[in-house]
Structure 1
Amino acid sequence: MEFLRPATLAEALAAKAGRPDAVPLAGGTDVMVELNFDHRRPGALLDLTRISELREWTTDGPSIRLGAGVPYTRLITELGDRLPALAMASRTVGSPQIRNRGTVGGNLGAASPAGDTHPVLLATGARVEAASVRGTRMIDAGEFYVGVKKHSLEPDELIVAVHLPVATAPQQFAKVGTRNAMVIAVCSFAVVLDPENRRAGAAIGSAAPTPRHATDAEEFLAGELPWDAPVPLRDSVKRRFGELVASAAAPIDDVRGTAEYREHALAVLARRTLGWAWQDYLGSERTCA
């Protein structure tokens, strides 16, 4: 196995162009597990840990450009107030050691349906910045996932950053696992309020071949949330929202849970997270008033 270790992004893109089969190595929290269990034997590894450009984040007006190599720990401490749902999801990733190494870029590269950050990226309308020696392009999160552990990157492309809007209203993320810590999600869910556009983003994880939008649930909330005169939500609204979120899933039975349980849990997570987010929105509106 060849080990490639570029020092700059330009060198990394050139290396990837020359060896499209090279597997990128950022935090290594997914790749090294696969290597240790002999689930993967790539012809080359492309170590990205020396590339400083990937470990930076910048603010561009209403959005954040998050470098693909920024670890979860920094995301939580440095961006938790601006990207709250992503920070919530990051706190659920593995152990402190894993959070010190793992990255959103790596989560995207693995493209596992159970990846913790995926529902947040979908719900917020994030875009993935992919680069190659041919140039740079932006991929909507909704178009990035194309199958189980499959993404829409070209063989010579690398994920260099993720672009997310700065939160202007409450966001929530929750997941169900087989234990309280260091667990792969049985199912997960993110909801994002967007009062400026009179919409809410909703997305599920670990309950379909890919992470996916709960489109019907989003459209339902667009017509039900009382943005201009906020009042507590009726239980019927939360209950219907949960039903629509669960209907967006296409789960399977596996060692972590049954399909039936996943649908039930998603409905519960959706009701709870919407309730928490809307309660926070009510509080912020009263404070502003």
Structure 2
Amino acid sequence: MDFLRPGTLAEAIEAKAAHPEAVPIAGGTDVMVELNFDHRRPAALLDLNRVAELHEHGRQDGRIRIGAAVPYTRIITELGADLPGLAMAARTVGSPQIRNRGSVGGNLGAASPAGDSHPALLAADADVEISSARGSRIVAAKDFYLGVKRNVLEPDELITAVHLAPAEGPQQFSKVGTRNAMVIAVCAFGLALHPARRHAGTGLGSAAPTPRAATAAEQFLDGELDWDSPKPLADSVLRRFGELVAGAADPIDDVRGSAAYRRHALSVLARRTLGWAWSDYIRGGRTCA
């Protein structure tokens, strides 16, 4: 197995073009597990730890640009106030050691339906920045996932960053598992209120072959939420929203939970997160991670 170690982003892109079979590795929280269990034996590894550009975040065109290798710990501590939903999801990832190494870029590259960051990215209308020797392109998170552990990346491309707007309203994230962290989610749900657009974004995790939004549930809320004169939501609205979120799922039975349980749990998570977020909105607050 070859080990490639570029020092700059330009060198990393050049190496990926020359060795499209090379598997990128930064935190290694997914790749090393696959190697240790002999689930993957790539011809080469592309070590991105020395590429400083991937470990930076900043503002660009009014949005927050997070380098693909920025670890979860820094998202929590440095970006939690601006991206509370993503920070909430980051808090549930693995252990402190995993959060110190793992990143949103790695989560996207693995494209596991159970990845904790995916629901928050979908709810916040995130975009994924992808680069190659042919140039860069931006792909909406909702269009990034193609199937179980499959995404839109071409063999010569690298995920270089994620772009999100700072939260303008309350955001929430919740997941079901045997415990809060150090566990693969049975199911997860992300919600973000976008008052300027009079819209609520959603994201489902571990509930279908790919992470996905609950589009019908979003459309339902568009006709129910009174953004200008907010008042507590009727229980019937919360329950209908939960039903529509559950209906958007396409789960399986596995050792972590049945499909029926996942749908039921998602409906509960949807009702609760909407209730929490809307209560925050009524109070004029923005949920802080």
Q: Deviations over 1:117-171 (max 9, x none)?
A: 0011111111000000110000010110000000001110000000001001000
Provide the rounded CA distance (Å) in 2 between the counterparts of 1:123 and 1:4: 35
Work out whether 1:69 is the aligned partner of 2:76.
no
**Matching residue of 1:93:** 93
Q: CA deviation at 1:228?
A: 0.7
Q: Partner residue of 2:161?
A: 161
Secondary structure, in 3 states, of the residue corresponding to 1:251? coil
The amino acid of 1:117's aligned partner reads S
Written as runs of structure 1 = structure 2, the 5 A alignment for 1:218-257 is 218-257=218-257
The DSSP-based 3-state class of the residue aligned with 1:212 is coil
Q: Which sits farther off after the overlay, 60-69 or 7-16?
A: 60-69
Q: Secondary structure at the match of 1:213?
A: coil
2-structure distance, mates of 1:190, 1:3 = 37
Q: Deviations for 1:10-58, whole angstroms, at most 9, x for unmatched residues?
A: 1100110011010000100000000000000000000000000000001
The correspondence of residues 110-189 of structure 1 with structure 2, limited to 5 A, is: 110-189=110-189
Deviations 1:49-93 (A, max 9, x none): 000000000113531000001000000000000000000000000
Distance in 2 (alpha carbons) for counterparts of 1:236 and 1:246: 15
Superposed counterparts of 1:21-100, under 5 Å: 21-100=21-100
Q: Normalising to structure 2: TM-score of the pair? A: 0.98
Amino acid at match of 2:68: A
| RMSD, matched Cα | 0.8
Q: Distance in 1 between matches of 2:178 and 2:207?
A: 15
Q: Secondary structure at the match of 2:227?
A: coil
Looking at structure 1, the residues matched to 131 and 61 of structure 2 have their Cα atoms a distance apart, in angstroms, of 22
- Distance in 1, Cα, partners of 2:59 & 2:72: 18
Taking the aligned partners of 1:96 and 1:113, their CA distance within structure 2 comes to 22
Match of 1:27, SS state, is coil
Tell me the percent identity. Answer: 71
SS of 2:202 mapped into structure 1: strand
Gaps of 5+ in 1: none
Query: 1:187-206 to 2 correspondence within 5 Å?
Result: 187-206=187-206
Q: Distance in 1 between matches of 2:169 and 2:61?
A: 16
| TM-score with structure 1 setting the length | 0.98
Aligned-partner Cα distance in 2 for 1:30–1:139:
23
**Structure 2: unaligned runs, 5 residues or longer:** none
Q: Secondary structure at the match of 2:179?
A: coil
Rounded Cα–Cα distance in structure 1 between residues aligned with 2:114 and 2:180 = 16
Cα distance in 2, alignment partners of residues 179 and 195 from structure 1: 33
Q: Which residue of the partner structure matches residue 216 of structure 2?
A: 216
State the number of aligned residues. 285
Aligned counterparts of 2:257 and 2:61: Cα–Cα separation in 1: 42
Matched residue, 2:13 = 13
The worse-fitting range, judged by mean Cα deviation, of 171-180 and 184-193 is 171-180
Secondary structure in 1 matching 2:188: strand
CA–CA separation in structure 2 for the residues paired with 1:155 and 1:141:
19
Measured in 2, the distance between the counterparts of 1:60 and 1:151 equals 25
Q: For residue 279 of structure 1, what is the aligned residue in structure 2?
A: 279
Separation in 2 of the partners of 1:9 and 1:179?
38
Letter in 1 for 2:3: F
Quote the Cα distance in structure 1 between the aligned partners of 2:86 and 2:62: 16
